[in-house]
Structure 1
Amino acid sequence: MNAELAAALLIGLLGSSHCLVMCGGIAGALQLSMSGSGQHKVVLQLLLSAGRLSSYALFGAAVGYFGASAMQLAGASLLWLRLLAGVLLLMMALYISRLWFGLLVLEKLGQHIWRRVQPVAQGLLPLNSAAKAYAYGLCWGALPCGLVYSTLGWSLASGSAGMGALLMLSFGIGTLPAILLTGSAATLLLKLKSHTVFRYSAALLLAIYAIYTIWLAMRRLVF
C-alpha cells in the first residue's frame, strides 16, 4: 500500500506540469477574485485546494467501492482489478515520460460533467468567504483532466473505498506544489520536472512498478 501511495504522489507531482497549463490560469484568476488581506487570501487559497483534494478523495472512495462491489457481484477475482491497475500505471508512466499522450483523450469524456458543474462554480464567485473557497474547490475537482481520470481508474482497481480515497488524495497532494507555488519557485519546479533525466528516471520507476504489479496479478491468476 505504501508503494502505491508513493507512486500516486509521484504521478501527481510529475503530472502537475499539465496542471500548470490547465489550472495555473484558473488558480491565478481565482486569487484575483479573493478579497481581504494577504493572510486572508492565503487561507482562502488553502481552502480552495482542500476542497479540490476532498473531491478527489470522494471520487476515489466512490469508484473504489464500486470496483470492489462489482467484482464481488460478478464472482470474479480482485486480481483482475490489480491487473487493470498495473496497465493504468504503465499508461501514466508513458504519459509522464512524454512518449505517449493518449490520456488527453479522456479529457473530452469529462466535458459533459464539467458543463453541469461550471455554472455552480461560477455562482460562487467572488471568493470572499471560507465556505465559498472550499465549495469552489469541490467543484474544481470535477475539471476534466486525463491524468485525474486515469488515477480514478487506478482507484477503481484499488479494491476498496478507503484505498481508492487514499490514492486520489495522494495524487492530489502531489499536484499542490504546482498550484500553490508562484513566481520563481514555480518556474524552478517546472524546469526540474521538465528535465529529461529527471522525467525519464521517474517514469522508469513507475513503469517498473507497473510491470511488477501486472506480473504479480498474472502469476496468481494463471497459477
Structure 2
Amino acid sequence: MSDNHLAFMIGLLGSVHCVGMCGPLAFAVPSLKSGRMYLVLDKLLYQTGRIISYCILGVFIGGIGRQIWLSGMQQGISVFSGLLILVAACTRIFKFSTPTNGPSFLLKPFHDLFSYALKHKANHLIIGMINGLLPCGFVYLALAGAVNTPGIPSAVSYMFWFGLGTAPLMLMVTIGVGWTSAMVRNRINKTMPYLMICLGIWFILRGMNLNIPYLSPSKPGSSVADCR
C-alpha cells in the first residue's frame, strides 16, 4: 500500500471522528443563499477549504521531513512516530487522564476566529480553511505519517489524500444532518485506538527496514536491498 493510499484510508476510516469533533462547527455554518444547489456548493467549498489547510500543513511538515531524509534519520523518526502513536492509542484504550487546560487554551483562538468569520458572513471556503487548522489529534496522526515522507511534494500529497478521505462522510452529514447517530459515532470512535495501534506498528516496522514488501521495505542502497 502506498503512502497516499494509506493516508486516504486513514481519512476515510477516521472520518466518523471528524463528524463527532468538527461536525457541530460545520453544522453551525449557514448557507447565505437558499436552495439545494447552493447548500451542496457551500458544503463542497467547506470541505475544499479543509483540504487546502491540510495541504498547507503538509508544506510545513514536508520541509521538516525533507531535512530528516537528507540527514538519514527517517528510519529513527518512523520508529519514534510509531511509538508515540502507540502511546496515544494506549491512553485512549486504558482511559489515562490527560491535562485539559492545554487543548482548551490552544482551541480558544481558533474558536474566536471561527466566530468572527461567522459574524462577518465569510464564505464556506474560508471557514473550512479555519476548521482545517484546528488542533486535532486525528490531524496530528496524519501529520506523523506526512513527516515520514521524503519531502514537501510527497507530504502535501499525503495530506491531500488524507483530507479527501475525510470528505465524503463529512459532506453527506453536513448536507443531511443526523445521517449518523451518536451511538454509531461512539462505536466507531472506540475502534480508532486500535486503528492507531495498527498504524503505529506499521511505522515501527517500516523504520526497521526488515525487507518485507510494502510493510517494511529495506532502505535503498542497504546490504539487504542489494541482496534482492
TM-score normalised by structure 2 residue count: 0.70
Instruction: Note the C-alpha offset of 1:90.
Output: 6.3
8 Å Cα contact 1:68/1:160 also seen in 2: yes
Q: Deviations over 1:68-88 (max 9, x none)?
A: 13664xxx21xx224423543
From 144, 154, 161, the equivalent of 1:163 is 154
1:123 aligns with 2:109: no
Counterparts of 1:125-140 in structure 2 under 5 Å? 125=118, 132-140=123-131
Distance in 2 (alpha carbons) for counterparts of 1:203 and 1:153: 11
Q: The residue matched to 1:209 in structure 2 has which SS?
A: helix
1:214 aligns with 2:212: no
Q: Which runs of 5+ in 2 are unaligned?
A: 211-215, 224-228
Q: Which runs of 5+ in 1 are unaligned?
A: none
Highest CA radius of gyration, 1 or 2?
Answer: 2
Distance in 2 (alpha carbons) for counterparts of 1:133 and 1:106: 30
Counterparts of 1:5-154 in structure 2 under 5 Å? 5-30=4-29, 32=30, 34-69=32-67, 72=70, 76-77=71-72, 80-89=73-82, 92=85, 95=89, 99=93, 108=102, 111-112=105-106, 114-125=107-118, 132-154=123-145
Which stretch of the first structure deviates more once superposed, 132-141 or 115-124?
A: 115-124
Count of aligned pairs: 210
Query: Measured at CA, do residues 92 and 58 of structure 1 come closer, stay the same or move farther in structure 2, by a change above 3 Å?
Result: same
TM-score normalised by structure 1 residue count: 0.72
1:3 partner letter: S
Q: The residue matched to 1:149 in structure 2 has which SS?
A: helix
Q: Percent identity?
A: 24
